[in-house]
Amino acid sequence: MKKLYLLAFLGLLLSACGQEDSASENDQEPVRGLKTVEVTSQEQSTVRRYPSVLQPTSISTLSFEIAGKLEAVELNVGQQVKRGEVVASLDRESLEIQVETAEAAVLQARSNARNAEEDFKRQQSLFDKKVVTVAALDKARTTMETSNAQLLQSEKQLETAQENLQKAELRAPYDAVINTVETQSFSNVGAGTPIATIYSGDGLEASFSVSYDVISRLAVGKAARIRLADNPDVELPAVVTELGSSANTVSSFPVVITLQERLPQLKAGMAVEVSMEFDLPAGAGYALPISVLTMEGRLKQERTPVEPGEAFVYVFDPQSNTVKRRLVRIGGIRENRIIVVDGLEAGERVASAGVSFLRDGQTVKLLN
């Protein structure tokens, strides 16, 4: 009986040892497949991008120089007008009455001037014959001069009335597009009251703000690119035309770029993305997908083209089939790819997928 118990006990011990060996085998970490990208492609520059909106290069506000009552306003936003084309008109009836009144005043003033001149000549003749006094002659001269001045004033008033009649028509100063209509038909408007705003269809520009470090590296004439937000396939050349010397807000300096090409579908108010290239601070760097970056480390948000950031990546070690965590310096971004300027060598392979599940020294299997 004791031998049976001893055999049973030995069987239990062997069974327990087998279970422990099986558990230890199951606890071993499986080898993870690793997708990598080879460090080969080099870039000499980084690209900075800024959102903006297309605006016309020049906007003009049209208004009458005189007061009056508007006739029907038949303007639409986006309507194209030619240079010299009538944009709006004032009621001409009251202006024509002013011209007629001024013409009558000129006729009366001319008649008075003629009579005063004849009276002066008569007084001059009588004075020569010593029939009238000097006072009578001076009075006739004064009346003649006053009549001539009144005639000149009446003629000027007539010219003003005729000019006002011509100003009853508001004409486009250049080929333009109606941007806004500021008034309604048959309303009374004063001199200088905005009627409409127009802009030239020849030029479009975009404005945005940059930091001091960026503005210090820009110059008028620097090349840029504009891409339509609604149609990223449309990309046009542009050039920097204005640089702000003072910041709108803290460390925010305005920049204006102007399009060098035009397309029929381009309209003011379209959302665009402005891109400009800057040389890398290290001269050159390796272009890698953003997916190589880990969520840990000392990643710094790139603030300027001359201040690289830092981040961790995992580099594959072919000798030990493991990954090593390594700190690299990032000089910028170009077309959704980071530019690593320090920390990597050509020919090395960097983990490009599932980096959040990796750890330093982990054994991996390289995937083709």
One DSSP character per residue, 114-164 reads HHHHHHHHHHHHHHHTT-S-HHHHHHHHHHHHHHHHHHHHHHHHHHHHHHH
For residue 70, pLDDT beyond 50 = yes
246-269 per-position pLDDT tens digit: 776 777 899 999 998 878 778 888
Q: Which amino acid is at 44?
A: Q
Q: In whole angstroms, how large is the CA radius of gyration of the chain?
A: 44
Element (H, E) at 101: helix 93-128
Q: Is the pLDDT of residue 25 over 80?
A: no
Tell the burial category of 252 from Cβ atoms under 10 Å away from its Cβ (0-12, 13-18, 19+).
middle
According to DSSP, the residues that pair with 332 across neighbouring strands are 339
113: enclosing H helix or E strand: helix 93-128
What is residue 27's predicted lDDT score, i.e. its pLDDT? 52
For the chain, domains (ranges, CATH) are 32-44+282-366 (2.40.420.20), 50-56+202-279 (2.40.30.170), 61-90+169-199 (2.40.50.100), 93-166 (1.10.287)
Q: Which tokens go with 150?
A: 């009144």
What would the two tokens of residue 314 be? 């995992």
Q: Residue 308's pLDDT band (boundaries 50, 70, 90)?
A: low
Reported pTM: 0.57
Q: Output the pLDDT for position 286.
A: 87
Tokens for 247, please give them.
């910041």
Q: Is 24 helix (H, G, I), strand (E, B) or coil?
A: helix
Cα separation, 120 vs 365, in Å, equals 122
Cα angle at 95 between 110 and 60, to 5 degrees?
A: 125
Query: What's the pLDDT band for 227 if we cut at 50, 70, 90?
Result: very high
pLDDT reported for residue 233: 87
Instruction: State whether residue 203 is helix, strand or coil.
Output: coil
Phi, psi of 234 (to 5 degrees): -90, 115
Partners of residue 180 on adjacent β-strands? 197
Which amino acid appears at position 214 of this protein? V
Asked whether the beta carbons of 176 and 198 are under 8 A apart, the reply is: yes
Q: Is the pLDDT of residue 28 over 80?
A: no
